[in-house]
């Protein structure tokens, strides 16, 4: 979304009445898979870290309204050699996201008030529990890089691993033996679903007693927090 900010001549326009709460929600849904922004709690690594991208400019006194215009222009007219698609955000949605990023990029502290309440803590749902040989997971529907839970329990034997994704962000689920967390484990992948932005997919795997890690194989998603542990006993 933001590369080097120098030389972006369109960044002086201020947009009317942006909704920062909507901007935060849309940023997480549309941009968080690729960009890190501390206030939004996103840790994507495909695109630039927006806090780092604007830190020097903010320290040198670049106005927040100028940053707002830069973000707006770069989303509206993305680098054709980059991965961000044209038309990702438009109209008031784009204005809201640009205003939110401009307010919080490279800013200390955390969001407060309504801004702090518009998103739930990712992965904070109850553990997934195997039922009738099926262990079902879901990607966070808001687009945050997480499953709805980070814990699961299953019994030894054949299990169908199912994952639904309604977020619009490309995700899947894969399993490795051991508890390696956010770091790629040394053990082979035992099974996985295809990467997809919508729908439900599943695979069959035989689980022995022990601990397993489930994670998303989309670039950067595991390191950004999209993983959890399965206890088989």
Helix, strand, or coil (residue 80): coil
For residue 31, which of 63, 67, 58, 2 has the smallest C-alpha distance?
Answer: 2
**For the chain, domain boundaries:** 20-117, 128-232
Model pTM?
A: 0.71
pLDDT digits (tens, 9 = 90+) for 119-160: 888 899 999 999 999 999 999 998 889 999 999 999 999 999
Q: What is the spatial distance between Cα 217 and Cα 227, in angstroms, rounded to a whole number?
A: 10
Please give the pLDDT value at position 173. 98
CA 58, CA 5: separation in Å to the nearest integer? 11
pLDDT, tens digit only, all 233 positions of the chain: 654 443 343 444 455 689 999 999 999 888 988 899 999 999 888 899 999 999 999 999 999 999 999 999 999 999 998 889 999 999 999 999 999 999 999 999 999 999 998 888 889 999 999 999 999 999 999 888 999 999 999 999 999 999 999 988 899 999 999 999 999 888 999 999 999 999 999 999 999 999 999 999 998 899 888 999 999 99
Superfamily of domain 128-232: Cupredoxins -  blue copper proteins (2.60.40.420)
| CATH fold group of domain 20-117 | Cytochrome Bc1 Complex; Chain D, domain 2 (1.10.760)
**Beta strand 157-165 with 134-138: parallel, antiparallel or unpaired?**
parallel
Q: What is the CA radius of gyration of the chain?
A: 20
What's residue 46's pLDDT? 87
Distance of alpha carbon 38 from the chain centroid: 12
Range 39-43 contact pairs with CB under 8 angstroms and sequence separation of 24 or more: 39/104, 39/107, 39/110, 39/111, 39/115, 40/100, 40/104, 40/111, 40/119, 41/119, 41/122, 41/144, 42/144, 42/145, 42/224, 43/145, 43/220, 43/223, 43/224, 43/225
CA-to-CA distance for 71 and 77, rounded, in angstroms? 10
């Amino acid at each position: 979304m933001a590369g080097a900010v120098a030389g972006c001549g369109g960044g002086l326009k201020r947009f009317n009445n942006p909704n920062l709460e909507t901007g935060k929600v849309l940023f997480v849904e549309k941009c968080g898979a690729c960009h890190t922004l501390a206030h939004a709690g996103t840790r994507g690594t495909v695109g630039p870290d927006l806090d780092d991208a604007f830190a020097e400019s903010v320290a040198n006194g670049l106005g927040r309204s100028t940053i707002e215009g830069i973000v707006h222009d770069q989303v509206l007219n993305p680098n054709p050699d980059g991965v961000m698609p044209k038309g990702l955000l438009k109209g008031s949605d784009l204005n809201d996201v640009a205003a939110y990023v401009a307010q919080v990029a490279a800013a200390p502290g955390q969001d407060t008030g309504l801004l702090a309440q518009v998103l739930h803590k990712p992965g904070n749902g109850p553990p997934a529990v195997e039922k009738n040989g099926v262990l079902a997971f879901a990607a966070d529907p808001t687009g945050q890089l997480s499953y709805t839970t980070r814990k699961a329990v299953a019994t030894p034997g054949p299990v169908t691993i199912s994952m639904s994704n309604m977020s619009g962000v490309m995700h899947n689920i894969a399993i490795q033996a051991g508890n390696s967390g956010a770091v790629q484990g040394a053990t082979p992948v035992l099974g996985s679903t295809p990467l997809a932005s919508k729908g439900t997919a599943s695979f069959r795997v035989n689980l022995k007693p022990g601990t397993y890690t489930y994670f998303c194989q989309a670039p950067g998603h595991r390191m950004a927090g999209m993983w959890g542990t399965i206890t088989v006993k």
